Structure 1
């Protein structure tokens, strides 16, 4: 038996994860080219063996719930491996959390999106508290006094882990708790109550079936106040230093996202502050949800790019039947198809980030476009992620099915963004509501799409408008898919090389999106497509 190791692929490290042509072009196009230097710095770190080891260790050493200390005192703390804290430190120092909210610079949200995309390729799980901290500010601004108190710490670039009162923290992180056992996405079925205490605070009593990132310092929570379902700010530690009455019952045993903690919690007269008005909780917290939905798109796009990069790296170094895999026609077809999906997701997520930047700055047209495009994009890009991860894994053959390759972790993570912040049906129905109740938002979407003066777009828009004219709830998924595809096609026609745009349109528009990856027809310039990876 030979012990000489041959034809094994070298580790993928020592590269710049931000060396992504589609990402770089979009960064400049969306007004954040000023951030290129720091993006490349982060990309270089993301490509190191050290950073990749942090990702591995954070997933193999999962968080542990400590409900009590050695003396029997209730503490409800979550312990993490040091690798988790390394990942979080980098994310916070680079402003992937709430930093854009305190920057009066155009493109701040775009720059943050690009960095989130790059650093998420190291390890996706720690993006959850980073994302929710980013998103919390949008909702918190419905209570200006609370925002003034909490925003400086939320936007701080210092990662300061540990449960202490706000006054003693150099930086804080935010989580979210909406869903309950009986309701799930139907948050109006929530039973948690909020009783006014007469001093401006409320006492919350009840439970949450999913509390995202329970180790955070503060949460936005939905509860039933006397005036109806309302949004509240719920800190883990009260201003006097005492622990709030938030009980972590257990951590969820999840398919993926193993590095990150998700918990079931109970409240026993926990003290909270009202955010916005009583009875308008959904309208208030939806500001946060829309931001985290953007991060769902970014995270799925990041996973696609990671899977594609790993698959191409493997194919460039692995020989089978006398030829490198990258030189074999059918494998080239598969890789090129994966590359089309990845680039389409990247240009869409960056366009959504740009719309967010401009909507926050008060551009109404961009806000209306984002209302529709985000719902369609969240549905479709997140839906495509799992199939993309499976195909990328298969490119590595049996090696891809082995944990050490990192591909099983990517595969397990891939369905999450499709579920988080509203599963596929919720996203598709949200799109239907926007289209029927906000016709000006629908027209903003079509105005954007038709900036690509191309007959393929004209034909696709005509089909979408016909579908929309007679659409019912049962048609919502088909409509979301068609709208996302035509938007991606329009963006690629305008901003990508013709080789990419033409192959995407030929394979995706007109009902071609349901085929397996690697079924591109004759004609695509595979060399040009693969050269962009």
Structure 2
């Protein structure tokens, strides 16, 4: 099985946002990764069963804090960092490109990899984000060698990155950071405890610490520092890995508790902007979170569909039974919509990095709404897919249980759902982000093919209502706004997904690529109001397998209240 070729949602996103000049190289990379999926999945299963272990002392009693990994995990590292260069894709020419590939290539390649192995995607993402952060805020004369290491695909030169931010008393509330930094010549010495440090033996650590004279109880009193694993003379830096966490999921990848004991660090950017600079790294990781959750959704739904085709109950395949089709439909639509949202967000990030201020405003709110909604939804989709597999789904050997365990991390990683919802509210208060988003979506809807008229009309009305709802949320009491912001973030996410699905459908229709994507878009729109499209249920094989349908069928899948409607 080639994971890329069995994913019609992936093909649709590639068609929509990968430029023609990048298409051949993108297809070659995704085809190669997709064909490697079964091998990588086998390695991931073994690595999950053999978590890393910490050796704090050598036989002579010297403190070494080395982490031992199973060979399967090391083979996955070779694939991710070196063979496929997932952490290098946004930073340097690889895989035949003579310039940096588009951001979306990285997200789509990682999306395929995560369908096999989720845990390692954390170090990959942090390595990528660390390089981006040092490039954006660091002095090139100081940090270029580190950036080169973080983005290298050569095993002898490559480095990995990590982000040590959480402390026992300072997870969400960074102003409560207690780690301190004191000057030591041109560098700094950091002391404090970091409570949840994934990839704790990384070569390059980005962390936060309070600096002398900084305002107390404020994030402006927290600076950003780069802490290398090893010093210039080759000795280990002064910090210890106190223990590794025993986690529900991502068991292949170590997370630990770390004590900085006068560890040498290098200042990154402006001292009083440390948290804001760290937010750039966090936001990059948050979009990767949404991508990873979308990957888990796709993998679990694909495997569930395969099972329902093979399982015969009462003389008929499960896939052909009405209730099972009604169970599968929303899962398939959720998986496709999630990838569409990630694809559009990556496209906006590309434009933002090129200096587009509108795209910069969009990605600022798209990132938290994608993280909030997709990561939560992945928990439901993977759980439903496990149940479809029946008793075997609950057994670790079949892989579904691992997907469910891993899916729960997405909503916690890089900020729990409530933190993310409050970030959406912050964007609204500071930038009228909901209004910018509504304007961008209305512009997409205004440019659709006539086959999409009924859906466009319904979504135009929805976006006007959402903009007004956002204004009302901001005008009310602060407590009321906080209570309602999570629901509103999900409403925004679902509306963006629906809009982008219609945008994809319109482009494919115009390019002569068929009407399946319109069937998906109309069925997803129907689901927003709790309606299971009977037409979509009748043509579930087209949604699952990527086969085309007639235009009349695709249009008929629109919500019943929109039958025959036009703008």
Tell me the TM-score normalised to structure 2 length.
0.85
Q: What SS class does the counterpart of residue 444 from structure 1 fall into? A: helix
Matching of residue 528 in structure 1 with residue 515 in structure 2: no
Question: Residue 88 of structure 1: CA displacement?
Answer: 1.0
The match for 1:267 is 260
1:43 to 28, 31, 34: 34
Write the mapping of 1:85-484 to structure 2, written as runs, cut at 5 A: 85-92=74-81, 93-103=83-93, 105=99, 107-141=101-135, 142-145=137-140, 146-160=142-156, 170-197=157-184, 199-226=185-212, 227=214, 228-439=221-432, 441-450=433-442, 451-453=444-446, 454-471=456-473, 472-484=481-493
Question: Residue 106 of structure 1: CA displacement?
Answer: 6.6
Mean Cα deviation higher: 106-115 or 409-418: 106-115
Cα-to-partner distance string for 1:216-272 (whole Å, 9 max, x where unaligned): 111100100123201100011111111111110110111111111000010110000
Contact 2:438 2:467 in 1 (8 A): no
Q: What SS class does the counterpart of residue 91 from structure 2 fall into? A: helix
Cα-to-partner distance string for 1:86-112 (whole Å, 9 max, x where unaligned): 111111121211332224747521111
Mean Cα deviation higher: 445-454 or 363-372: 445-454
Distance in 1 (alpha carbons) for counterparts of 2:99 and 2:424: 30
Write the mapping of 1:19-58 to structure 2, written as runs, cut at 5 A: 19-31=6-18, 32-33=22-23, 34-46=25-37, 48=38, 50-58=39-47
Question: Residue 36 of structure 1: CA displacement?
Answer: 1.0
Q: What SS class does the counterpart of residue 239 from structure 1 fall into? A: coil
Matching of residue 83 in structure 1 with residue 72 in structure 2: yes
Q: What SS class does the counterpart of residue 124 from structure 1 fall into? A: coil
Mean Cα deviation higher: 115-124 or 323-332: 323-332
Contact 1:303 1:389 in 2 (8 A): yes
Cα-to-partner distance string for 1:138-164 (whole Å, 9 max, x where unaligned): 22120123331211111111245xxxx
Contact 1:157 1:171 in 2 (8 A): yes
Q: 1:523 to 1:99 in 2, by over 3 A?
A: closer
Distance in 2 (alpha carbons) for counterparts of 1:405 and 1:38: 28
Tell me the TM-score normalised to structure 1 length.
0.91
Contact 2:4 2:10 in 1 (8 A): no
Q: 1:350 to 1:264 in 2, by over 3 A?
A: same
Question: Residue 16 of structure 1: CA displacement?
Answer: 3.5
**Pairwise CA RMSD:** 1.6
Distance in 2 (alpha carbons) for counterparts of 1:29 and 1:147: 36
Contact 2:89 2:101 in 1 (8 A): no
Contact 2:290 2:374 in 1 (8 A): yes
Contact 1:333 1:526 in 2 (8 A): no
Question: Residue 287 of structure 1: CA displacement?
Answer: 1.2
Question: Residue 129 of structure 1: CA displacement?
Answer: 0.5
Structure 2 unmatched ranges of 5 or more = 215-220, 447-455, 474-480, 506-516, 548-567
